[in-house]
Amino acid sequence: MELTVNLKSRLDEIKRKFPFAFSSVLPAIHAVQEEFGYIPLEIEPAVARYLAVPQERIREVTTFYFMFNNRSVGKYHIYLCSNVSCWLRNYESILAYLEKKLNISAGETTPDGRFTISLVECLGMCEQAPVMQINGISYGDLTPEKIDRILDNLD
Amino acid sequence: MTEKILSRRFDLKDSHTLKVYEENGGYIALRKALKEMSPAQILDEVKRSNLRGRGGAGFPAGMKWSFLPKDTDKPVYLCVNADESEPGTFKDRFIMERDPHLLIEGIIITCYTIRSSQAFIYIRGEYLSQARLLEQAIQDAYAAKYLGKNILGSGFDLDLILYIGAGAYICGEETAMLESLEGKKGYPRLKPPFPAVIGLYNCPTIINNVETIANVPAIVERGGDWYAGLGPPKNGGTRLFAVSGHVKRPGCYEHPLGYPLKKLLYEDAGGILDDLPLKAVVPGGSSVPVLKADEIDINLDFDSVQAAGSMLGSAAIIVMHERTCMVKATERIINFYKEESCGQCSPCREGTGWLLKIIQRILRGEGVMEDIDLLYDVSEGILGNTICPLGDAVAMPVMSYVTKFRDEFEYFIAHKKSKIETMVS
Ligand SMILES: Cc1cc2nc3c(=O)[nH]c(=O)nc-3n(C[C@H](O)[C@H](O)[C@H](O)COP(=O)(O)O)c2cc1C
Ligand code: SF4
Ligand code: FES
């Protein structure tokens, strides 16, 4: 698998920005994920070559960090916080509602490829618990009605 | 009225912009630092200020900076810890969202003091919108000549790079953060050597929390003695207390160190949700021992909280009312550290797994009374036996929940259900 033109120019930008080749690994993998929605295994050799780092480095990073998807996920990736403060504010009922509404369990993707639900750790928004993020955008003080409004407004 | 240092611009319209920052006292301290003060003078003020690290351990910032080797020919780096992933903690997010230039000004003054010309902010990957705001603020600071070459004509150069993590709590541990900045998985390093001597790319490196650095401009502007005088001895300045859980007004409240916990809960945060009786308070993020309702008559400074048997940590206050099942609370905490253990050392990797198995067994109604002591013993086996403090971060709270709420664990095991269920009306 080869790098796209767009990805190459992103990686060039990253290489210029970081004084050390190794430091460009995380930013580069973020760029790959933005391009494909996940990190295709077959792209790793090309990324390694382009950054001039060993291929194991890329593998080590794509597998260690939670936010790097090793397989494709839904168009909308829902991160629902399940940590203490959100638990105290009843995230469990929000999870039940989401699972029922989308007809999948946490960790799964809807058959049409639109939604994935992932349970995540504290999102640093505990004052608005319960909290979720969809593709990086945060939503707090969740209620079933609010979930309806948010999901129904996605295209 | 408490004087606000960190949050005084939080509620201004467009407080995140350079314009509003400059119109409200911003970058005055930087001018003073570069024009009127030597690095040694600033270091002296920071030492006098009794500013202690806001990331968790409360180490004096000035002392940390003075551990840098003198006359090194290697570059010195500053890495600002914006990983903010300790459950319950969200104060750094407020600074980055509402006053990013305060952080940037603090970084520039700090780098001038420690003679660094390259700084990094390591921000957690989930703070995407905050990262975008910060990136814009950094660009604006470059355009206004607060960053880059020859800052404000002083001859001092500084570059600042924002580095975005990817969802690994362990990367908040300072040496794991360095590994991550070097493009690796976040495996904590053995210490010593300490980062001040051998840090990023084997060069001397200072790591400080966002809130720690955000205090530096005020210390330069008004002096270390003034700052120290705001709090009790050895606890200079104010803190952003992040209150969450069962209170009426969860939020981020700034007060001097030594502020009474009760006042914070019942005045600032509006009291307990639904006016239910209080059961427990976690005073410093999920990794610290829990306090029972009758133990909360304390002041919130590092030393007072420690004297009460817990820790002020990240100053994240998690409140639990009467209807909180402490067995389930313990499970949530264990689950977190089990998920986030990097797996590098066996007491932590295996121990967190065992703890989770035991607590889940109890929650399924399959526990036996011996499991309570087993939770304690496994925790004790982890405590102090690991490469980084994540092991302690699960062991200490678990030991405290099991000890202080033993009756709830016993009830759960005997009746195969939570004691809380008997209370729900
Ligand atoms: C597992 C673990 C996670 C940590 N997470 C953070 C964090 O998210 N933010 C932070 O500032 N410090 C965190 N720390 C503390 C850092 O290791 C370090 O002490 C701190 O950033 C130093 O800054 P300070 O002296 O200004 O507090 C963590 C420590 C451990 C052991
Ligand atoms: S204590 Fe846990 S998180 Fe820390 S190095 Fe060991 S395995 Fe990794
Ligand atoms: S516990 Fe859910 S955002 Fe912090």
Model confidence at A45: pLDDT above 80 = yes
| Alpha-carbon dihedral sign for residues B414, B416, B420, B425 | negative
Tokens found for residue A7: 């990805």
Query: Nearest 5°: CA angle at B387, between B386 and B388?
Result: 95
Tokens found for residue B58: 């409360």
Q: Where are the beta strands (DSSP E) in B92-230?
A: 118-123, 159-164, 205-209
Give residue B424's pLDDT.
Answer: 60
Cα B190 to chain centroid distance, Å, stands at 21
Q: How far apart are CA B226 and CA A116, in angstroms?
A: 52
Beta bridge partners of B259: B300
Are A143 and A87 within one domain? yes
Tokens found for residue A78: 């829902």
Are B312 and B199 within one domain? no
Q: How confident is the model at residue A143 (pLDDT cuts 50, 70, 90)?
A: very high
B247 lies in some domain: yes
Counting the structural domains of chain B, the total is 3
Are B92 and B43 within one domain? yes
Distance of residue B151 Cα from the nearest chain A Cα, in angstroms: 20
Domain hosting A35: range is 5-64
B43 lies in some domain: yes
A91 lies in some domain: yes
Counting the structural domains of chain A, the total is 2
What's the distance, Cα to Cα, between the start and end of chain A in Å? Answer: 30
Under DSSP, is residue B396 helix (H, G, I), strand (E, B) or coil? helix
Neighbours of B229 (CB within 10 A): 14
B362 lies in some domain: yes
Measured between CB atoms, does A126 come within 8 Å of chain B?
yes
| DSSP category for residue B125 | T
B29 lies in some domain: yes
Q: Are B190 and B62 in contact (CB under 8 A)?
A: no
Are A111 and A137 within one domain? yes
Cβ–Cβ of B125/A138 closer than 8 Å? no
Q: How far apart are CA B44 and CA B66, in angstroms?
A: 10
A chain contacts of residue B328, beta-carbon cutoff 8 Å: 87
A40 lies in some domain: yes
Whether the CB of A69 sits within 6 Å of ligand 3? no
B354 lies in some domain: yes
Are B89 and B172 within one domain? yes
Are B216 and B314 within one domain? no
Tokens found for residue B412: 């759960």
Q: Are A37 and A73 in contact (CB under 8 A)?
A: yes
Are B266 and B147 within one domain? no
Are B303 and B354 within one domain? no
Atom of ligand 1 nearest to the CA of B170: 1
Which of A41, A64, A87 is the last residue before a domain boundary? A64
Cβ–Cβ of B181/A68 closer than 8 Å? no
Are B251 and B297 within one domain? yes
Q: How confident is the model at residue A21 (pLDDT cuts 50, 70, 90)?
A: confident
| DSSP category for residue B148 | B
Query: Nearest 5°: CA angle at B121, between B91 and B26?
Result: 70
Model confidence at A155: pLDDT above 90 = no
Measured between CB atoms, does B363 come within 8 Å of chain A?
no
Q: How far apart are CA B394 and CA B173, in angstroms?
A: 14
Which of B228, B249, B275 is the last residue before a domain boundary? B228
Q: Are B166 and B125 in contact (CB under 8 A)?
A: yes
A48 lies in some domain: yes
Are A58 and A91 within one domain? no
Beta bridge partners of A115: A76
Peptide bond preceding B192 in cis form (omega within 30 of 0): yes
Measured between CB atoms, does B355 come within 8 Å of chain A?
no
Distance of residue A1 Cα from the nearest chain B Cα, in angstroms: 22
A51 lies in some domain: yes
B244 lies in some domain: yes
B10 lies in some domain: no
Q: Are A104 and A76 in contact (CB under 8 A)?
A: no
User: In what helix (H) or strand (E) does residue B149 lie, and over which residues does it extend?
Assistant: none
Per residue in A47-63, pLDDT tens?
999 999 999 999 999 99
Alpha-carbon torsion, ordered A122, A128, A134, A135, to 10 deg: -70
Q: Where are the beta strands (DSSP E) in B114-176?
A: 118-123, 159-164
| Ligand 1: lining residues by beta carbon, under 6 Å | B 53-57, 59, 81, 83-86, 170, 172-174, 207-209, 212, 388-390, 393
Atom of ligand 2 nearest to the CA of B352: 2
Which of B300, B321, B342 is the last residue before a domain boundary? B321
Closest by Cα among A87, A78, A127 to B333: A87
Are A98 and A119 within one domain? yes
B4 lies in some domain: no
Are A46 and A104 within one domain? no
Q: Are B270 and B250 in contact (CB under 8 A)?
A: no
Q: What is the mean pLDDT of each run of 10 residues along chain B (425 residues)?
A: 88 98 98 98 98 96 97 95 97 98 98 98 97 98 98 97 97 98 97 96 97 98 97 96 98 98 98 98 97 98 97 97 98 97 96 98 98 98 96 97 98 96 74
Measured between CB atoms, does A79 come within 8 Å of chain B?
yes
CATH number at residue A119: 3.40.30.10
A chain contacts of residue B180, beta-carbon cutoff 8 Å: 26
Domain hosting B273: range is 238-321
Q: How far is CA B119 from CA A140, B71, B159, B189, in A?
A: 32, 19, 6, 21
Are B199 and B65 within one domain? yes
A95 lies in some domain: yes
A10, A20, A83, A118: best to mutate for the B interface, most B CBs within 10 A: A83
Give residue B423's pLDDT.
Answer: 81
Measured between CB atoms, does A133 come within 8 Å of chain B?
yes
Per residue in A75-107, pLDDT tens?
999 999 999 999 999 999 999 999 999 999 999
CATH number at residue B315: 3.10.20.600
Give residue B3's pLDDT.
Answer: 84
Are A33 and A83 within one domain? no
Cβ–Cβ of B183/A26 closer than 8 Å? yes
Ligand nearest to the CA of B64: 1
Atom of ligand 1 nearest to the CA of B54: 27
User: In what helix (H) or strand (E) does residue B378 lie, and over which residues does it extend?
Assistant: helix B370-382
CATH number at residue B347: 1.20.1440.230
Are A85 and A141 within one domain? yes
**Among protein residues, the one whose CA lies closest to atom 20 of ligand 1:** B55
Give residue B407's pLDDT.
Answer: 97
Are A11 and A43 within one domain? yes
B chain contacts of residue A23, beta-carbon cutoff 8 Å: 163, 181-183
- Per the model's pLDDT, the better-predicted residue between A2 and B47 turns out to be B47
Give residue A51's pLDDT.
Answer: 95
Q: Are B192 and B199 in contact (CB under 8 A)?
A: no
Give residue B1's pLDDT.
Answer: 54
Cβ–Cβ of B126/A133 closer than 8 Å? yes
Per residue in A111-137, pLDDT tens?
999 999 999 999 999 999 999 999 999
Atom of ligand 1 nearest to the CA of B175: 17
CATH number at residue B99: 3.40.50.11540
B77, B81, B90: best to mutate for the A interface, most A CBs within 10 A: B90
Distance of residue B171 Cα from the nearest chain A Cα, in angstroms: 10
Share of chain A above pLDDT 90, in %: 95
Ligand nearest to the CA of B388: 2
Are B50 and B183 within one domain? yes
Give residue B62's pLDDT.
Answer: 98
A chain contacts of residue B167, beta-carbon cutoff 8 Å: 65-68, 120
A71 lies in some domain: no
Token look-up 């209170």 returns B247
Are B61 and B181 within one domain? yes
A69 lies in some domain: no
Are B76 and B211 within one domain? yes
Are B34 and B89 within one domain? yes
Q: How far apart are CA B134 and CA B123, in angstroms?
A: 10
Distance B111 CA to ligand 2 centre (A): 30
Which of A64, A93, A108 is the last residue before a domain boundary? A64
Q: How far apart are CA B393 and CA B62, in angstroms?
A: 26
A132 lies in some domain: yes
Pairing of strands B118-123, B77-82: parallel
Which of B205, B228, B251 is the last residue before a domain boundary? B228
Give residue A1's pLDDT.
Answer: 87
Atom of ligand 1 nearest to the CA of B174: 17
